[in-house]
Each structure stands twice: as C-alpha cells, then as structure tokens.
C-alpha cells in the first residue's frame, strides 16, 4: 500500500523530490517561479501521464474534458470507481488513491470538471448540467465494458455533484457506494437564488473575473505556501514528500480560473436531503454511504459531515470516519491513512 504514496521517481522532470522542493523558494516569488515551463514537468507525474486522456463532450456544452483512467486495460464486468473533485480542484487530488486502485487491478475514472484543470470552459455552469455531462462521460468511456457496479467518490463540492448524480441516475446505474470526502454543509444558504445581493456579486465576479484575480495574486497567492489555498488544505507539515505535495497543490492553485469559481456558485443546486434519505433507505437500495472528514479541516469542518450523517437517519448502511490531524485535502494531507481506509472500508 505504501508504494502508491511514494512520489520519488514520479515527476516527469526526472528530478528528485528534494531537488524540486529546494529549487522553489517560498514567499512572494513562488507564484512566478511555479508558473514557469519547468514547473509543468516538476509537477506532472508518470502515473497521471500514462493514464491521461481527453474526451469530447457534445451537445449543449460541447467541450474537451481531461480524464485519467485505466479503462483501456479493463475487461469490465466488475466495479468502476468514479472520482469527482471539488471547486477549483483537479483530478490530481485523488492521485494516491488512483494508484492504489490501479495496483489492485480496480477500474477507475477521474477527470477535470469543466472549467478547471485542463478541461475546457463552459459559457455557464448549471450544476445539474455538469452532473448530466458526467453520466455522458462515463457512458462514452466505458463503451461496452458494462460494469456491474459503480462507486461514487466526491470531494468537497464534488460531494454535491456525486449526490445529485445519485439522485438522477440511481435507477440507471447499480451504485454500490456513495463516498463523501470532506463534504460542504448540507445547505449552503448563501448561494440561494433569493439572496439578491450575493447573486449580484457573483454575477459581477463572473463577468469581470480579473477583479478577483487581482485579490488572489496580490493579497493571497503572494504569500506562497502561507496562502489560504495551502494553509486551509493541509494540516500536516512533515517530510520532503509533504512539501512536494504542497508545491504541487500551489502549482494547480495558481491556474484556477476565477470565472469558473463564480460560474459554479451561480449554477449551484441545493440537495433535498429528505429525498436522498428516502431513496438510500429504500429496501431495494443496496448503496452504502461512507463519509470521511478531516479533524483539522477549516473549510468544511467535521460538524458538516455530522449534520449530513444525522440528516440521513434512516439509511441502514452508513459510516462516518474522522481522520485525526488532517486538513481539507484528505488524499494529499494523509494519503497513507486515506488509502488504508479505502482498503478496509471500501475494497473489502
């Protein structure tokens, strides 16, 4: 299991982790140095490159979606693990778990959501349209593999997308597990369409994203590894590998498109937890619910996970696990622990 968390020898630049970490000086200059072409090689890994591809979505939102999967080697018939990242995230955030699944010959599919990572942008981001595009993507890439079971894994905002997917398609797919990693609070009241002032602010940010870019670059990312996107995502501060993962996260953070963030907020759809509770607790449902949260997560605190767990009071098969001394990015902050939980609670 530890092999899936070892990053030495993985960077495409072929430099050692120590050499990479020591070449990027923290502070105001980090933002510029990590945008250079060399950084793209330092923070791209052999595993991701070997499993990377692009799928073309057609229809209302024609676009190219970056993917990472091992379906070319799959014969189908078993389980497929689908990973959905959060707001501003990328598929790389699941890298340790993807490698673990690959080593165990388990089929997986991860992707950059529209507007994030290396996927194309959309004109707008209605949440249910995004969810429907995920279903289309699975059908396109699995083709005739005909998987018997689907496991949904969402992180942060990706939990909302995973739940909406479940509610829309649980009759079309045999969904074995619904796994929520660091889920947001169950009801994000601030994003209600009735909050006219907030909606106006979001519309302004969506039309003029450069204004938010100024704040991000001058007042946040100029702090380097002390910026909010690192301090709030990580709790552990350990060895060279930990520092490399923080730089990797920072490299991805500086490429986040502000317009996409505002677009997803504008397209937000609340979840009817009563309906989810009823569907998951139905006698014909065999879906197991697992919620993982970090004890030190300040973005989506543990109490949000507890609230969701309590709202789904009638679900017969559910479990909640709090990971001690772990921040928001569970798979990057404590990959060994998360991989062990996957093996014990999901792959068994």
Dihedral angle at the C-alpha atoms of 300, 176, 52, 111, nearest 10 degrees? Answer: -40
254 CB-near residues (< 8 Å, 6+ apart): 31, 34, 35, 221
| Residue tagged active-site, from 119, 133, 156, 258 | 156
Q: Which residues pair with 68 in a beta bridge?
A: 52, 110
Closest residue by Cα to residue 8 from 34, 38, 47:
47
Q: Where are the beta strands (DSSP E) in the chain?
A: 52-57, 63-69, 79-84, 107-111, 149-155, 175-181, 288-294, 318-323
156 is catalytic: yes
Query: d(Cα 98, Cα 82) in Å, to the nearest integer?
Result: 10
Asked if residues 61 and 121 have their Cβ atoms less than 8 Å apart, the reply is: no
Cite the active site residues.
156
């Amino acid at each position: 299991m530890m092999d899936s968390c070892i990053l030495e020898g993985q960077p495409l630049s072929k430099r050692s982790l120590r050499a990479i970490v020591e070449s990027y000086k923290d502070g105001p200059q980090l933002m510029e140095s990590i945008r250079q072409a060399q950084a793209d090689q330092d923070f791209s890994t052999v595993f991701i490159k070997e499993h990377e591809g692009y799928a073309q979505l057609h229809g209302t939102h024609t676009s190219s979606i970056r993917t990472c999967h091992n379906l070319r080697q799959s014969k189908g018939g078993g389980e497929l693990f689908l990973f959905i990242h959060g707001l501003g995230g990328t598929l790389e955030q699941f890298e340790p778990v993807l490698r673990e699944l690959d080593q165990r010959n388990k089929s997986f599919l991860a992707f950059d959501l529209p507007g994030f990572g290396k996927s194309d942008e959309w004109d707008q981001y209605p949440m249910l349209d995004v969810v429907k595009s995920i279903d289309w993507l699975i059908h396109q890439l699995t083709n005739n593999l005909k998987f018997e079971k689907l496991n949904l894994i969402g992180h942060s905002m990706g939990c909302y997308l995973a739940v909406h997917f479940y509610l829309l398609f649980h009759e079309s797919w045999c969904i074995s597990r619904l796994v929520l990693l660091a889920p947001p609070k169950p009801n994000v009241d601030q994003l209600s369409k009735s909050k006219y002032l907030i909606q106006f602010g979001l519309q302004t940010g969506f039309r003029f994203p450069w204004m938010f870019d100024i704040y991000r670059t001058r007042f946040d990312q100029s702090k380097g590894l002390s910026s909010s996107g690192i301090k709030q995502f990580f709790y552990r501060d350990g060895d060279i590998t930990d520092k490399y993962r923080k730089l990797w996260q920072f490299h991805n953070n500086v490429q986040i498109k502000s317009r996409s963030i505002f677009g997803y907020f504008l397209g937000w759809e609340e979840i009817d937890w009563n309906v989810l509770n009823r569907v998951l607790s139905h006698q014909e449902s065999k879906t197991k619910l697992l919620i993982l949260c970090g004890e030190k997560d300040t973005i989506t605190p543990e109490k949000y996970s507890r609230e969701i767990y309590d709202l789904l009071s009638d679900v017969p098969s559910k479990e909640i696990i709090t990971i001690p001394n772990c921040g928001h990015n569970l798979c990057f902050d404590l990959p060994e622990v998360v991989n062990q939980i996957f093996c014990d609670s999901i792959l068994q």
